[in-house]
Structure 1
Amino acid sequence: MNNFDWKQLFNPEFYILLEFNGIKIGLIVVLFIVFAETGLLAGFFLPGDSLLFLAGIYSEALMQQISLGNGFVNVTVLASLVAVMGITGNMFGYWFGAKSGAYLYNRKDNFLFKRKYLLDAKAFFDKYGNKAIIFARFIPIVRTFTPVIAGIVGMNKKSFMFFNILGSFLWAFTMIFSGHYLYQLFLERFHIDLKHYIEYIVIGIVAVTTFPVLFKLLKKSVHLED
């Protein structure tokens, strides 16, 4: 921590390998980030998909403090913990949306909040309906604001919880298990340690997950010019 660089805040590996007084706190930090990104409006800038993929790669290190002795069990527990935090975060976002309502639409933009993000999430929700709760999990920024929109429009609580739980487990297990088993596959079959290519992996995941958002913005820009 003595050589801390603020740019590290955008590097998922920094959070996973974080230590405090010699104690590894990566797991706690990862779980908090998942909650913050899905439950706190200020968490939209935090790494999401890349963080979970890397959590799968570093699952052994993350679960070191509570290891159950079996690789598959450890990864399953890790993914389950992440899913639970995702569910909790979305529940908080839903509650916040239901309570705040019109206030958010009238709130002025600042460094941490952009009304445009809220409107994009609303358009996404209108397009996909209840399934947006699932789809939004895999799209940065949108996943932060979609549960808030669900609360604002008064989405049925039982329906919200069903799609919330399903989406959270799909997201957590897909990203974490992909990272864990692709790492093993490349290491054992091709003798390639993906930990040496973390920067490229992060860039690749960010590019893939943000493409739908960028495409939508480009499409809007072209439409306005016409």
Structure 2
Amino acid sequence: MDFMQFLDMVLHVDKMGQLIEQYGTLIYVVLFAIVFCETAFVIFPFLPGDSLLFIAGTFCAAGAMDPWFLIAILLFASISGNSINYWIGSTVGHKVMASNSRWIDKAALEKTHAFYEKHGGKTIVLARFTPIVRTFAPFVAGFSEMSHRNFQFYNVLGAILWIVSLVLAGYYFGHIPLIKNNLSIIVMVGVGAAIVPIILGLAWKFGRKLFVKKSS
């Protein structure tokens, strides 16, 4: 699988069946990589998460993949991804916050930090079901100096609830005609939930800077 095919998989997860037919068990590696990258690195908040898990579950129901093996490898991907993200946050988090890197959405980081300060460890669990915040939460926990033991407890709990619930939701409900025939819409909703807040955030920043510039 070359990079363009991988990118097509990321952007059109509803076409997962074509890749399963072409690459067979290699699809497990692709799904592992997507979930791992989304949870491990703050520069990938746009990767599909919820929609990917749900659609993967629908293909498990069709017999294309083994649901329990899929759940196992995705649990490993999400737990290890969050752990690496936590380590990165604890190591270089303050430097990243002080930098002006265009690769990092600092507004999203600051919002996640405020949410984390208010809700504590629950954020790690709740963030699993929230696009964008899901990617930033472990990083924020790291540079906020949350204890590693507490982090791992919520990390594992959140991963189990997120992976198991969405894969099994796809497995048990993905065969319903209304859902099965509208997978593209489900994907677009999932992608939109991740991308629209970023676009709105950038537009707000641009508008605020423009207003301040005109006022001065």
State whether TM-score is above 0.5. yes
**Cα distance in 1 for residues equivalent to 2:9 and 2:67:** 25
One-letter code aligned to 1:107 = S
Which residue number corresponds to residue 102 of structure 1? 94
SS in 2 for 1:154: coil
Q: Deviations over 1:163-212 (max 9, x none)?
A: 0000001000111000110024x2xxxxx2744321122234456x5599
Across the aligned residues of Structure 1 and Structure 2, the Cα RMSD in angstroms comes to 3.2
Q: Which has the higher contact order (CA 8 A, sep 6+)?
A: 2
Contact 2:124 2:158 in 1 (8 A): yes
Which residue number corresponds to residue 142 of structure 1? 133
When residues 203 and 87 of structure 1 are mapped into structure 2, their CA distance, relative to the original with a 3 A threshold, is: same
Contact 2:74 2:163 in 1 (8 A): yes
User: Is it true that 1:201 corresponds to 2:192 in the alignment?
Assistant: no
Which of 166, 170, 173 does residue 164 from structure 2 map onto? 173
Following TM superposition, by how much is the alpha carbon of 1:213 offset from its aligned partner in structure 2, in angstroms?
5.5
**Cα distance in 1 for residues equivalent to 2:155 and 2:173:** 27
When residues 22 and 92 of structure 1 are mapped into structure 2, their CA distance, relative to the original with a 3 A threshold, is: closer
TM-score by length of 2: 0.79
Which residue number corresponds to residue 154 of structure 1? 145
Moved more, 88-97 or 9-18: 9-18
User: Is it true that 1:133 corresponds to 2:118 in the alignment?
Assistant: no
**Cα distance in 2 for residues equivalent to 1:98 and 1:41:** 13
One-letter code aligned to 2:172 = Y
Contact 1:41 1:113 in 2 (8 A): yes
When residues 16 and 137 of structure 1 are mapped into structure 2, their CA distance, relative to the original with a 3 A threshold, is: farther
Which residue number corresponds to residue 59 of structure 2? 58
Structure 2: gaps spanning 5 or more residues: 212-216
Q: Percent identity?
A: 30
Structure 1: gaps spanning 5 or more residues: 64-73, 187-191
One-letter code aligned to 2:39 = T
Q: Deviations over 1:3-60 (max 9, x none)?
A: 9696664222345643697555221111111110000122211111000010101125
Which of 74, 77, 82 does residue 69 from structure 2 map onto? 77
User: Is it true that 1:183 corresponds to 2:192 in the alignment?
Assistant: no
When residues 14 and 46 of structure 1 are mapped into structure 2, their CA distance, relative to the original with a 3 A threshold, is: farther
**Cα distance in 2 for residues equivalent to 1:24 and 1:76:** 14
Which residue number corresponds to residue 67 of structure 1? none
Which segments of structure 1 move beyond 6 Å, counting only runs of 4 or more?
Answer: 1-7
One-letter code aligned to 1:42 = I
SS in 1 for 2:95: helix
Contact 2:124 2:155 in 1 (8 A): yes
**Cα distance in 1 for residues equivalent to 2:137 and 2:5:** 33
